[in-house]
Amino acid sequence: MQRRSFIRTLGVAGAGATASLALQSPAIAQTRPKVNWRLVSGFPKQLDTIFGAAHVFADSVREVTDGQFDIQVHAPGEIVESLGELDAVQNGLIDMAHTASYYFVDKDPTFAFGTGLPFGLNQRMTNAWLYEGDGMQLLEAFYSEYNIISFPAGNTGAQMGGWFRKEINSLEDMQGLKIRISGLGAQILKKIGAVPQFLAGGDIYEALKEGTIDAAEFVGPYDDARLGFNKVANYYYYPGWWEGGVALMNMINLQSWDALPNPYKAAIRSASALANVTMMARYDTLNPPTLRKLVAEGTILRPYTHDILEACFVASEAIYEEISAKNARFKLILDSYMEYRREAYMWFQRSEYSQDTFLMMQRRGGRL
């Protein structure tokens, strides 16, 4: 219980103490109507990390409102078909979804910014841009066109680069390769000759097992192992250059949001921030031992070769330019995002990177 209280406090502090103070004020005791919402997650139910974040969020809302605001969490396919969460929220079929915004780039590539861009911001930079930059303001204007308001409610951090049924040694090996991938990373891989496939997380295992696809990316060691990908593919690549700091969003129907009393809105903001912090903490705790276990059981770790990374980076810049030329909203947010990337990596190069590199060298030398 003490650990949960600490994390809860940390989560609120990380995203703004104002919401926390609002929850403790007498106002919440004065207006506590009974409200019942339905939330649909975009992630497989067996994943206590990414699917579990929706429960962290809903439990927190329930707790701070003494059970008066009850949000029931549903898995994909229970009341909305997989990948149908955005339409369901927009049309008021459900009150909210916890999902990855970039699942919906086919509607508008601008949705990518709610999750992250290939070769984009890492987890800390993403939070900084969203909370203290102008990220949330820009996204709120965009999401409102779809009758939605959203709040960051999770981050996976940097992800792995996917499971492959065969070894990839050069850019040539990517030609014609059928790979499951989400977001704008799919367009980049297509540009270098791969054949991207978009599947819901729960459908990846069977596709890999049956050979319908040659490779698949999802999250990282813990989630991937829970879904059994290591049983149907031997090679595990890194880094996940298309997902340096994946934000997950609570997407809420605007009419449902507007109908809430202010204390309940504060509860949502605070609980979303808690889910955001808790998810990253869980991944950072669970991924290292899981990766060790995977390697011990036969998984073969491989880095992407430089020619693949370089080709993908060049392709990403070209794609952003192409989209910007015909999508003013995308360009507006891209300009903000890329300016933040330039400044953030200048700082991280001198702070995080320099210390992390030194300590990694000490670890490699057996001193850690």
- Starting at the edge strand found earlier in the chain, the sheet holding 235-238 runs 195-197, 178-180, 215-216, 163-164, 235-238, 300-303
Fold of 2-157+244-285: D-Maltodextrin-Binding Protein; domain 2 (3.40.190)
Q: What residue ranges do the domains of the chain occupy? A: 2-157+244-285
148 burial via Cβ count (<10 Å: 0-12, 13-18, 19+): buried
pLDDT string in tens for the chain (368-residue length): 444 444 444 444 444 444 444 444 454 455 689 999 999 999 999 999 999 999 999 999 999 999 999 999 999 999 999 999 999 999 999 999 999 999 999 999 999 999 999 999 999 999 999 999 999 999 999 999 999 999 999 999 999 999 999 999 999 999 999 999 999 999 999 999 999 999 999 999 999 999 999 999 999 999 999 999 999 999 999 999 998 999 999 999 999 999 999 999 999 999 999 999 999 999 999 999 999 999 999 999 999 999 999 999 999 999 999 999 999 999 999 999 999 999 999 999 999 999 999 999 999 999 99
Q: What are the residue ranges of helices labelled H in the chain? A: 2-15, 17-24, 27-30, 52-64, 85-90, 123-131, 135-144, 185-191, 204-210, 221-226, 254-258, 262-296, 306-326, 328-350, 352-364
The Cα 197–Cα 212 span in angstroms is 10
Judged by DSSP in three states, 269 sits in helix
pTM of the model: 0.89
Judged by DSSP in three states, 167 sits in coil
Q: What are the residue ranges of helices labelled H in 180-305? A: 185-191, 204-210, 221-226, 254-258, 262-296
End-to-end CA distance of the chain: 31
239 burial via Cβ count (<10 Å: 0-12, 13-18, 19+): middle
| Of 71, 73, 7, nearest in space to 264 by CA | 71
43-68 core/surface letters (b: 16 or more CB in 10 A; e: else): bbeebebbbbbbbbbbbbbbebbeeb
282-309 core/surface letters (b: 16 or more CB in 10 A; e: else): bbeebbeebbeebeeeebeeeebbeebb
